[in-house]
A and B are shown apart, each in its own frame.
Chain A
């Protein structure tokens, strides 16, 4: 049901611009109004989320330590897994964000009779890397649509990306990466009993949505060749805040489908699990150093808690203490009444 609903939702999202453009001729609504609206929602939403996280204090320094601590000088400590300073934390975060290092640790547990066996399980990591890196590079490649003079770095990326020179126009490697990654992630969600059990419709939806974007994109390039110059004119117009529908260009309905899905993704992004992209940077188990005993961490809302003071305790156990031959510490309790008020610990 979750799968069906998400798939239907994406199909509906494809039909909306299709009908809107080809039957109702709402070109500029889908070409100009919707994109502005979507990106407005995207930016405001994202800023809202970031402010929300930043506003909430992190009370304690709680890194998940995954390696040897920095302790005695002759014991080699793990800079990445038990970072002891900010620089090492930056390194740890870098590996998390760019290479999904924690995901790389993944194992698979199997119960065979009374034995637990752990196997390596890097497929999830591999699929995730294919998808995310594919997505990232495709996004960068798209910049050429928004720039009059395409910087050589973009041309270079294009060149490398179409290195295999299969077909014309040549197939991009990143298209295959993102497609392969997505299909794997989707398949895994459907087939793996555990993952399927934990999935909501809102877990399938982004997968179908992005799949829709990728497929419509590939179709535009290889099947229903759209007027790229027209698209570029529209894109530059949007980017320079002088939006206009290109004259005498036949952009093709498929482009509007592609654009509408992208807009949906952008508007959906801040309010869904996709914010993990920004959230990961805030994760206190990863972005804090394991230096608790070296450098104090302050909790902004820390408050004093009443405890059983020595003097109260001594009063309580006076007899037992004397019986056992311990000296009572009256002097401390004299001074303590004053001190207690000062430092209500």
Chain B
């Protein structure tokens, strides 16, 4: 089915009307555009994971394993015994509804099961109905029901309609985090062999090759060479990029989206220009060439598997500390999970900026620093030569990505950087930024093409806020610190707010940095003329 036009998409959305039927009596409808395709069996085989063979979610009958019910209940029991978060969240929701209209998928679809509270009830009801004597006795009166095959389908549908963005958890009086429930439930589905292709293929690539896209070591080198050539063409300065260099001070790990595709590559050029400008002793690795982690969208164990590489590589290359690029879920994993999985990280040193001498006390145990923390510190110490007027063709607003804001709290650093490298920075409405920021609608491995309708719905609240500042201030750039954002926002903007380009923060840093020995800059990193230099961009070439 073709994607409806923007003006038609929301016609059926009514946020203040509920269906006639009880939600337990409504089965999910697998309409094209609202679900992702099932994983290819080979992908699961390669990783030694269970699968259900060839099937698709729209199939009437799913090839569930014969012991599916027992397996599911055991998987649930196991999680209830290992995750206090999950157990507690199953126990204490009062159904006050404070979270109901906080989810972007609910706001964009009006589907009541996309209210975080009902998303939780989908499981809570089964836990009551299968494990609690009182639940069994009172049934629906207590919100309990028995597990059926349709419920497995329902779980698949709705736990892949949650981007694990944690916005609901900000508003819940008990901090019930539906993202946590989704993480657990995707694991439970995995035990039956249910997973989506788009979230699993990158896991296999990352496991075997080293990054989500499957870019092999020699290709990565070539890509970087191309980007270096572009930088030379634009700035007149030739930059060296150390790869797999032993004994470098810093291991820099970017998300692969930043060296793979437009507009991530411009951000990558920004990193390279920055490192060259300050003379950082760093290296990029071809073995640990991915800072993102699609394993996290499937199973925590897979997430741990993928990033173990980064630490082995840091040891092998004998670096002092690790610097991470701009990426959202990556920083959830790096900040909230790495130290638990890979610590104590006693083979590295407490990160210290070699340029400013700042010791990153906040990362003293884990030894990993966010590039925006690093750059903000450089700017605060006046170590960068910046010409913000080179971004005068840009009117930029900043999208707080879900995870850096709600799992980490990096709110000021990117803003500080933007204000220093651009002259035209404006904020979106208060209720749509910082800890209340809206998801891009495609996070947590849901950035698949076949999922486009749901992506446009889920991304609507964010896009709507962009539309507001576009009309009000003429915003033409949406900056973000997330590789998935950079991959998915272009489609979202084209759909809802045409005319807004998407960029990373370090792309704009790269535009503004005045390199030693550079030629007169007439173009930005995208070969677009700078303001006042229109028509001159060809001259230097």
Contacts and interface: CB of A to CB of B under 8 A. Distances in A.
Contact of B97 (A78, A194, A200, A302): A194
B10 interface: yes
A203 B141 CA distance: 9
Contacts of A78: 409
Contact of A105 (B80, B171, B336, B376): B171
A17 B96 CA distance: 31
A111 B15 contact: yes
Interface string B10-30: 100111111100010000000
Nearest to B409: A69
B411 A200 contact: no
Given A56-B83, A57-B84, A271-B134, A69 B121 contact: no
B409 A290 contact: yes
Pick the most buried of A67, A82, A96, A200: most chain B CB atoms within 10 A of its CB: A200
B534 interface: no
Interface in A176-202: 192-202
B84 A56 contact: yes
B174 A280 contact: yes
Interface residues of B, number: 118
B260 interface: no
A144 interface: no
B173 A197 contact: no
Contact of B308 (A66, A203, A307): A307
Nearest to A72: B377
A137 interface: no
A309 interface: yes
A71 interface: yes
Contacts of B365: 293-296
A286 B6 CA distance: 38
B172 A53 contact: no
Contacts of B409: 65-69, 77-78, 81-82, 290
B276 interface: no
A22 interface: no
B80 A326 contact: no
A243 interface: no
Interface in B87-105: 87-88, 91-98, 100-102
Interface in A16-59: 49, 52-53, 56-59
Contacts of B376: 72, 75
Interface string B60-103: 00000000000000000000111111011001111111101110
B434 to A, nearest CB: 8
B495 interface: no
A133 interface: no
A286 to B, nearest CB: 4
A114 interface: yes
A280 B25 CA distance: 31
Interface stretch (A152-160, A214-222, A227-235, A317-325): A317-325
B84 A282 contact: yes
A308 B411 CA distance: 35
B373 A72 contact: yes
Interface in B346-375: 358, 360-366, 368, 373
B309 A307 contact: yes
Contacts of A248: none
A85 interface: no
Interface residues of A, number: 100
B131 interface: no
Interface string A268-308: 00010101100110111110001111111111011001111
Contacts of A57: 82, 84
How would you classify the secondary structure of chain B's contact residues: helix, strand, loop or mixed?
A: helix
A116 B335 CA distance: 32
B287 interface: yes
B92 A275 contact: yes
Contacts of A82: 409
B309 A296 contact: no
Interface string B173-195: 11111001000000000000000
A189 to B, nearest CB: 8
B301 interface: yes
Interface in A61-120: 61-62, 64-78, 81-82, 96, 100, 102-103, 105-111, 114-116, 118
A329 interface: yes
Interface in B220-242: 221-222
Nearest to B343: A296
B362 A202 contact: no
B7 interface: yes
Contact of B411 (A68, A111, A273): A68
A8 to B, nearest CB: 11
Contacts of B396: none
A136 interface: no
Contact of B312 (A108, A128, A309): A309
Contacts of B101: 107-109, 194
Contacts of B435: 65-67, 81
B413 A71 contact: yes
B412 interface: yes
A295 B340 CA distance: 10
A28 to B, nearest CB: 29
11 contacts: A75-B413, A106-B171, A111-B107, A194-B16, A198-B100, A198-B117, A200-B95, A201-B142, A276-B174, A299-B341, A307-B304
Pairs of residues from A and B, 6 with the lowest C-beta to C-beta distance, nearest first: A69-B409, A324-B218, A285-B175, A279-B92, A197-B18, A200-B143
Interface of B: 6-7, 10, 13-19, 23, 80-85, 87-88, 91-98, 100-102, 107, 112, 115, 117-118, 121, 134, 138, 140-143, 166, 169-177, 180, 207-210, 216-218, 221-222, 243-244, 286-287, 301, 304-306, 308-309, 311-313, 316, 335-337, 339-344, 358, 360-366, 368, 373, 376-377, 380, 405-413, 416, 429, 431-432, 434-436, 460-461, 464-465
